[in-house]
Amino acid sequence: MIEEQQTIAQPASGSGIGLHTGCQSTITFKPASPGYGVRFVRTDLPGMPEVPADIDHVVGLDRGTTLQKGEAKIYTVEHVLAAVAGLQIDNLIIELDNIEPPVYDGSSKPFVDILLQGGVVKQSQPKEFFEIDSHLAYSEKARGVDIVVVPSDQFRITFLVDYKNPALGTQYTSLVSLEDEFVNEFAPSRTFCFLSEIETMKERGIIKGGGLDSAIVICDHDIGQAEVERLRELFGLQQDVFIGKTGILNDVPLRFYNEPVRHKVIDLIGDLFLIGAPIKGHILAARSGHAANVALAKKMRSLYQKKQIRKKFPSRSSGDHVLDINAILKILPHRYPFLLIDRIIDIVPGKSVSALKNVTINEPFFQGHFPGHPIMPGVLIVEAMAQAGGFLLLNAVENPESKVVYFLGIDGVRFRRPVMPGDQLRFELKMLSFRRGICKMTGETFVGDTLVCEAEMLAQVIDK
């Protein structure tokens, strides 16, 4: 069954205090057209700059996920994005009049309620799902973090935490249906922290807007009267501060018996939204936080982008590669006898590409270079490497079929060994920068594991 994209019917707003900055802010959700995606707009900055909600714009993971594009920065976006993802909204304008959304009660539920006031509506275009078709894993052994993603016909999360604290201990939860469970069973779960972390975070200048009404504070050590007074002063509290029977500061009641691990699911949902497509897959996570979530999201986004490229340029040949010669012919303007790459074996859009060139005795240049001693001209090795770089560059712009790449400069060229008939060249190109249509990249060429050529290149994309 084809599922349609969704947005909201009308604008809806809310105001409050930001968790880390303590700023007063108003967040306004507005409808967006099909295919628009989700973008934040800083209405308080000149020109009202946009910040796309995607993994490429993540710049910070300190007790939350921070996005930035140019001078526009937005702190702590995960609870907002979890609400958007949980309601399965695809296209949305999120206006903010300050640097951080309100924290409210530390959960996603207030954002869910605001969005539901706007009314979720279907749109005319189908959703583009990221369907997991093979095992994917991420781990950090030093921190005991393990995340595995496996195929599933719908989005699911299983999460485990095991804190060495009697108030938490080992907690487990599983979300099997966004539609049936998210709003009431997961969205209300609040963020939490340990008592020992609070003073340190305050000294670092974060959680300026935090309080006992916006987080669950887990007591991981006994406190004396002096520390009680410090805590009251830190948070500007009038009420008493005490460690109760539950191990939670002031015996704040939990909304769910395993509320902390449910909030971990919320954070994971918000961070995975940055991939840019709804997932059909089962995520099994143990002890994961924002840093691990985003690292996984980067791997998944790279895989998703490769799938999108394959879908756009379907291959007619078999084998372990991304694109064959037919796809290359659709992107690069070169033709015989000057098309010098045969296959794209890997590509990370906007970052790197790996390509192959099979060197045969039938190459026209061998007739004169040199008779009886065939050697591939070094300038053509550099040209082939540049073509692979051009392919990477053209895949980073819109309408690549209407563009062409001009190379502006080549530096640091070194040839390490001759290339002869029967060799297979593997080109490894990495993009260093891409600003105002001009790209700087490094390239290496290998035969097997042997480096045969390297160079640094400067190129420009122009209209044909």
Cα separation, 350 vs 391, whole angstroms: 10
Pairing status of strand 145-150 against strand 282-286: antiparallel
Token pair for residue 225?
A: 């009267």
Residue 149 has a pLDDT of 97
Residue 402 has a pLDDT of 82
Amino acid at 411: D
CATH class of residue range 4-189+259-308 = alpha beta
Residue 277 has a pLDDT of 96
- Could you list the active site residues? 290, 369
CATH topology of domain 313-463: Thiol Ester Dehydrase; Chain A (3.10.129)
CB-based contact 218:31 (threshold 8 Å): no
Residue 131 has a pLDDT of 95
**Three-state secondary structure call for residue 228:** helix
Q: CATH 3.30.230.20: which residues of the chain?
A: 4-189+259-308
Cα separation, 40 vs 51, whole angstroms: 5
Give the residues across from 427 on adjacent strands: 355, 445
Q: Which residue has the tokens 């609870």?
A: 79
Cα separation, 403 vs 394, whole angstroms: 7
Residue 169 has a pLDDT of 82
Return the number of other C-beta atoms located less than 10 Å from residue 92's C-beta.
24
Residue 295 has a pLDDT of 94
Local mean pLDDT, 10-residue blocks, the chain (464 residues): 91 95 95 97 97 94 91 96 98 97 96 98 95 93 92 96 80 96 98 78 73 79 67 67 77 92 96 96 95 94 88 71 86 93 91 96 95 96 96 83 89 97 97 89 97 96 87
Q: Which residue has the tokens 């502006």?
A: 408
Q: Quote the DSSP letter at residue 335.
A: -
Cα separation, 235 vs 207, whole angstroms: 10
- Of 97, 96, 89, give the one whose Cα is nearest residue 118: 89
- Of 337, 350, 363, 345, give the one whose Cα is nearest residue 426: 345
Residue 272 has a pLDDT of 97
Q: Quote the DSSP letter at residue 390.
A: H
Whole-structure pTM value = 0.84
Give the residues across from 30 on adjacent strands: 93
Q: What burial letters (b/e) apply to 364-380, b meaning 16+ CB within 10 Å?
A: eebeeeeeeebebeeeb
Residue 223 has a pLDDT of 66
CB-based contact 201:209 (threshold 8 Å): no
Amino acid at 45: L
DSSP notation for 86-130: HTT---EEEEESSSS-B-TTSSSHHHHHHHHHH-EEEEEEE---E
Q: CATH 3.10.129.10: which residues of the chain?
A: 313-463
